[in-house]
Amino acid sequence: MKALTGLLYTALAIYLAGWFLGRWTGNFALLLFILTLVTFAYWLAERLIFKPRRERAAEAFIAGDAARRAELARKGIERVDGDADVTRQRLLAQPWWLDWTAGLFPVILAVFLLRSFLFEPFKIPSGSMIPTLLVGDLILVNKYHYGIRLPVINKKIIANHEPQRGDVMVFRYPQDPAVDYIKRVAGLPGDKVAYKDKQLYINGQQITTSPLPDYYDDSELRYLKQYSEKLGEVEHRILLDERRGPGVMPIYDYPYRDNCSYTMDGVECTVPAGHYFVVGDNRDNSQDSRFWGFVPDENIVGRAFFIWMNFSAPLDRIGRFN
């Protein structure tokens, strides 16, 4: 078992190193599920096999030591070298390979359940949601808001709230489900969504925007036009880049492509059943549904709602956001 445990840890180290170096794409949910199963197997074996075996060995030692001391006492030898209690504790102690497997099972199980069904942390990798979310923001995602889903396969088993316009949603990118994206929900199933001349329309109604002071983009060292926008019940800020034209073009032949029509001044789509149309708040610097289509319900991960840290931004950003 010691050799097997060492082999498992070696395989885990190789997998994580390759993931970190970009040699392959990792699936943390699957990895955590496998670690939970493996450590559970060790934990069960510890309770049913290894611990009873050590206890029997300790009891046999204590019985043998007591018999030896009794025999020596019968011969008139009262003082016997050795501390039987120390030896007993050593016999009962877990070896390192059990301590680092069975001993970690409760912790890994707690993390697995918390991450799978309650809250999951994410790090914002790009600027598509500026100014709402900055690059490097560490956020929490509510995993049960849109319903309870089985981990790894992401199948919904208990319904809860449906996504609403204005929600900031994390989902698995339809073109590569191993990658998580974060965008704002604009269109619900059945909605007709249009983005024309840099204006958003839902079912023929233009979404109201109000100008705000220009936003300074640290990454590009320039100012962008900033507006307040209200989607559903959610009021938030968006950015527009005056240097970019209004047109958008599809980058993939995505499912339900026939539901969208592209022109020189934008795009208009009818959202199919069981799907959502999402956009970034940094409108001219976001690849979203305008370019790659709709988000199916089965790809939803959860609703983002809280910034808990950004090591390169002011601490007053910590808290809930719209």
Catalytic residue among 128, 143, 198, 286: 128
Tell me whether residue 128 is one of the annotated catalytic residues.
yes
Tell me whether residue 312 is one of the annotated catalytic residues.
no
Catalytic residue among 116, 183, 198, 289: 183
For 307, other C-beta atoms within 10 Å of its C-beta total: 20
- Distance CA(134)–CA(200), nearest Å, equals 23
Nearest Cα neighbor of 168 from 143, 199, 141 is 141
Let me know the angle formed at the C-alpha of 271 by 270 and 274, rounded to the nearest 5 degrees.
155
Helix 51-74 vs helix 84-92: angle between axes, to the nearest 10 degrees?
A: 170
Q: Which residues are catalytic?
A: 128, 183
